[in-house]
Structure 1
Amino acid sequence: MEIKTVYVVYSDKKTKEHLNTIKEVKKVLKEFGIKAVFERKEKIEKKLPRGIDLVISIGGDGTFIDASHLIKDDTLILGVNSDPKESEGIHCSATRKDFRDKIKRIIEGDFSVEKWTRLAVYLDHKKCEFALNEVYVGAGHIYNTSRYVLEVHGVKERQKSSGVLISTGCGSTAWYSSAGGRPFPKDAKEARFIVREPYCGHLVCGRIINGIIKEGEEMKIKSEMRDGIVGIDSFKEYPLPKGKIVRITVSDKPIHVIRFD
Structure 2
Amino acid sequence: MGLINDGTTAKKEGDGGVSKRDFSTDNSSNDHLKKDTTKFTPERALIVSKTTRLQYEMYRAKLDYSEINNPAFQKRLKRIGANFEQIKDKDKQQRDYIEAMKNELEKDGVDVKIVTRRNYTKNLAVWSDLIISAGGDGTFLTAASKVRDLTPVIGMNTDPIGSEGHLCLTGKQRRSPSEVIRHFLDGEYEATFRQRIRVTIIKAGFEGSPPPTFKRQRRRSEASKACYLFSDEECEEAEPPVEPMLALNEVFIGESHAARVSYYVSLLL
TM-score computed with the length of structure 2 as normaliser: 0.50
- Seen in structure 2, the aligned counterparts of structure 1 residues 52 and 85 have a Cα distance that, compared at 3 Å, is same
Conservation of the 8 A alpha-carbon contact between 1:80 and 1:96? no
Shift of 1:49: 4.8
Select the residue among 240, 245, 248 that pairs with 1:132.
248
Select the residue among 105, 130, 133 that pairs with 1:54.
130
C-alpha separation in 2, matches of 1:44 and 1:29: 20
Select the residue among 165, 178, 193 that pairs with 1:115.
193
1:79 is paired with a residue whose SS is strand
1:62-105 alpha-carbon deviations (Å, 9 max, x no partner): 11111111210111000011111111111111377332222222
1:8 aligns with 2:47: yes
- Seen in structure 2, the aligned counterparts of structure 1 residues 28 and 151 have a Cα distance that, compared at 3 Å, is same
1:8 is paired with a residue whose SS is strand
**How many pairs align?**
153
Aligned amino acid, residue 99 of structure 1: P
Shift of 1:132: 3.4
Conservation of the 8 A alpha-carbon contact between 1:21 and 1:82? yes
Conservation of the 8 A alpha-carbon contact between 2:49 and 2:133? yes
The runs of 5 or more residues in structure 2 that have no matched partner are 1-39, 55-89, 202-227, 236-242
Which structure shows the higher strand fraction?
1
Conservation of the 8 A alpha-carbon contact between 1:46 and 1:69? no
- Seen in structure 2, the aligned counterparts of structure 1 residues 74 and 89 have a Cα distance that, compared at 3 Å, is same
1:40 aligns with 2:116: yes
Select the residue among 17, 35, 46 that pairs with 2:93.
17
Higher relative contact order (CA 8 A, sep 6+): 2
Aligned to 2:184: 106
C-alpha separation in 2, matches of 1:100 and 1:52: 20
Moved over 4 A (4+): 149-152
Which structure shows the higher helix fraction?
2
TM-score computed with the length of structure 1 as normaliser: 0.52
Aligned to 1:147: 262
1:201-259 alpha-carbon deviations (Å, 9 max, x no partner): xxxxxxxxxxxxxxxxx48xxxxxxxxxxxxxxxxxxxxxxxxxxxxxxxxxxxxxxxx
Aligned to 1:63: 139
Shift of 1:30: 2.5
Shift of 1:41: 0.6
Conservation of the 8 A alpha-carbon contact between 1:122 and 1:128? yes
1:23-50 alpha-carbon deviations (Å, 9 max, x no partner): 2222222233321111111111134454
Select the residue among 148, 153, 159 that pairs with 1:83.
159
Conservation of the 8 A alpha-carbon contact between 1:45 and 1:70? yes
1:137-193 alpha-carbon deviations (Å, 9 max, x no partner): 11213x4345244758xxxxxxxxxxxxxxxxxxxxxxxxxxxxxxxxxxxxxxxxx
1:97 aligns with 2:136: no
C-alpha separation in 2, matches of 1:134 and 1:53: 28
Shift of 1:54: 0.8
1:80 is paired with a residue whose SS is strand
Structure with the greater alpha carbon radius of gyration: 2
1:135 is paired with a residue whose SS is coil
2:147 is paired with a residue whose SS is coil
Conservation of the 8 A alpha-carbon contact between 2:125 and 2:147? no
1:88-140 alpha-carbon deviations (Å, 9 max, x no partner): 11111137733222222222222111111111212234452333344231121
- Seen in structure 2, the aligned counterparts of structure 1 residues 37 and 134 have a Cα distance that, compared at 3 Å, is farther
Taking only aligned residues, the RMSD between alpha carbons, in angstroms, comes to: 2.5
C-alpha separation in 2, matches of 1:58 and 1:49: 15
Aligned amino acid, residue 196 of structure 2: R
Conservation of the 8 A alpha-carbon contact between 2:46 and 2:132? yes
2:166 is paired with a residue whose SS is coil
- Seen in structure 2, the aligned counterparts of structure 1 residues 86 and 49 have a Cα distance that, compared at 3 Å, is closer
